[in-house]
Chain A
Amino acid sequence: MELLERFAAGDLEAFEALFRTHQKEVYAWVIRIVRDHGIAEDLTVETFWRIYRSHSRFDPTGSFRAWARRIATNAALDHLRHARRETELPNDLPGLAASDPAVCRETRSRIREAFFQLPPKYRLVATLALIEEEPYNNIAEAMGISVALVKVRLFRAVRMLRKKLNSFYTEVIAK
C-alpha cells in the first residue's frame, strides 16, 4: 500500500514519514505568516495534529503538500485571530534584514500599527502578497479561495491601509 493510502487509513508510521518529509516546508510557510520562530514551531505541530486528526478525510490521490499548506494557513489564520496584536510581529526577529534607515522610527511604527489593525484575513493576504511577494495563485491555493478573491482582499487591505496612513502618507512618499 502506498504511503498516502496508509496515512489515510490511520497508519502512524506513514504519518511520521509524511511529518518528517513536510515539516520544514510547513514551518517555512507558517513563519512567513506569523513571523515568530516559537509560534511557527507550535503552529507546525498544530497543523500536523489537525492533519493526523483528519486523516480519514484525506484523498490519497490528491496532493498532500497542498492539503498540508491549506491546513497550515488555517492554523496560522486562527492564530492571527486569537493572538494579541503586539506579540504577532516582533521587531527583532532573528534573520530579518535591517529596515530602510531612511524611514524614521515613528513612521515605521505607524505603518506597523496600521498593519496590525487590519482584519486577520486581509492581513494574511497583505503579508503574503505585499511583504513576502508570494504569487496570487499560491495564496489562493493555500487559503482555499479563488485568485479573484485574493485580489479583492488585497485591494481592500490596501484601501484600509491607505485610509489609516492617509495623514502622513504623502510625507513618507515624498522622502
Chain B
Amino acid sequence: MTNEQNNDEIKALLKSAITPVNYTELPRDLWPQMLRKLDERPAPAVLATLDKIPWFDWALAAILSALLIAFPGTIPALLYHL
C-alpha cells in the first residue's frame, strides 16, 4: 500500500469521526479583549532586553559564576584587575 492510499484511508476514518470546521467566522471584535490584555501585561522592557542577549553570553556568565563559586579565592584578584 502506498503512502497516498494509506493517508486516504486514515483520512476517511478521521473525517467520519472528526468533521472539518466549517464555521470559521470571528463572532466579535477582539480588540477590547486585546486592550485589556495589554493593560494587564504591558510589554516587559527588561524581559525584551534579556531576550536580545545571545545564548553564548549567558553561557559565559554561567561558566564565570561557576568558577567564582568553585574558587572564591579568585574574587579579590578579579576585583583588583577590574
Bound Cα distance from A155 to B69, whole angstroms: 50
A-contact bits for B12-37, CB 8 A (1 contact / 0 none): 01111111111111110111011001
Does A53 make an interface contact (CB < 8 A)?
yes
Q: Which residues of B contact A165 (CB under 8 A)?
A: 13
Given A20-B31, A49-B41, A162-B10, decide whether A132 and B17 contact each other with a Cβ distance below 8 A.
no
- Flag if B19 contacts A45 (CB, 8 Å): no
Does B38 make an interface contact (CB < 8 A)?
yes
Does B48 make an interface contact (CB < 8 A)?
yes
Bound Cα distance from A161 to B6, whole angstroms: 11
Give which listed residue, A37, A48, A96, contacts B22 with CB less than 8 A. Answer: A96
- Flag if B21 contacts A35 (CB, 8 Å): yes
- Flag if B37 contacts A49 (CB, 8 Å): yes
Q: Which residues of A contact B30 (CB under 8 A)?
A: 19, 23, 27, 41, 44-45, 48
* 16 A/B residue pairs, CB under 8 Å, sorted by A: A16-B31, A28-B24, A32-B24, A45-B37, A52-B38, A52-B43, A53-B48, A89-B18, A100-B15, A102-B16, A107-B16, A111-B13, A129-B7, A130-B11, A131-B19, A158-B10
